[in-house]
Amino acid sequence: MRIGIAARLDIHKAIELTDDLTDFLIKNSVEVFLDPALVKKLNKYHDSAREIQDMDVDIIIAIGGDGTILRTQSFIDGKNIPIFGINMGTVGFLTEIGPEESFHALKEVLNGNYFIEERTRLEVWHNKDLAPALNEVVLMTRKPAKMLHLEIRVDDEIVEELRADGLIIATPSGSTAYAMSAGGPIVDPRVNAFIIVPICPFKLGSRPTVVSGESIISVKLLREGKKAIAVIDGQVEEEINYMEEVIFKKSDQHAYFVRLTKEFYKKVREKLIKGGIGLE
**Residues contributing to the annotated binding site for NAD(+):** 66-67, 71, 135-136, 146, 163, 165, 176-181, 235
Amino acid at 268: V
Burial 119-132 (b: 16+ CB within 10 A, else e): bbbbbbebeeebbb
Can you tell me the distance from the alpha carbon of 63 to that of 60, in angstroms, rounded to the nearest whole number?
10
Piece of the chain touching its own copies by CB under 8 A; list 14-22, 54-62, 100-108, 265-273: 265-273
Sign of torsion over alpha carbons 90, 94, 98, 103: negative
Piece of the chain touching its own copies by CB under 8 A; list 51-59, 61-69, 142-150, 242-250: 142-150
| Pairing state between β 59-64 and 2-7 | parallel
Which of 158, 239, 241, 243: binder of its own copies (CB under 8 A)? 158
Can you tell me the distance from the alpha carbon of 232 to that of 74, in angstroms, rounded to the nearest whole number?
10
Pick out residues in 161-180 that bind its own copies (CB under 8 A): 161-166, 175, 178, 180
66 is catalytic: yes
Can you tell me the distance from the alpha carbon of 135 to that of 231, in angstroms, rounded to the nearest whole number?
11
Q: Nearer to its own copies by C-beta: 26 or 158?
A: 158
Which of 131, 195, 221, 246: binder of its own copies (CB under 8 A)? 195
Whether the Cβ atoms of residue 174 and residue 133 lie closer than 8 Å to each other? yes
State the first-to-last Cα distance of the chain, in angstroms, to the nearest integer: 41
Whether the Cβ atoms of residue 256 and residue 81 lie closer than 8 Å to each other? yes
From residue 152, how far is each of 72, 97, 134, 143, 237 by CA, in Å?
A: 31, 38, 21, 21, 20
Query: Closest distance between its own copies and the C-beta of residue 119, in Å?
Result: 14
Piece of the chain touching its own copies by CB under 8 A; list 35-43, 80-88, 100-108, 206-214: 206-214
Piece of the chain touching its own copies by CB under 8 A; list 13-21, 70-78, 188-196, 251-259: 188-196
User: Is position 188 an interface residue for its own copies (rule: CB under 8 A)?
Assistant: yes
Active-site residue (options: 20, 58, 66, 129): 66
The DSSP secondary-structure symbol of 101 reads: G
Pick out residues in 83-112 that bind its own copies (CB under 8 A): 90-91
Which of 78, 145, 224, 252: binder of its own copies (CB under 8 A)? 145
Which of 80, 116, 203, 241: binder of its own copies (CB under 8 A)? 203
Residue 160, classed as helix, strand or coil, is strand
User: Is position 243 an interface residue for its own copies (rule: CB under 8 A)?
Assistant: no
Query: Closest distance between its own copies and the C-beta of residue 214, in Å?
Result: 7
Which of 183, 218, 226, 236: binder of its own copies (CB under 8 A)? 183
Q: Which residues form the catalytic set?
A: 66
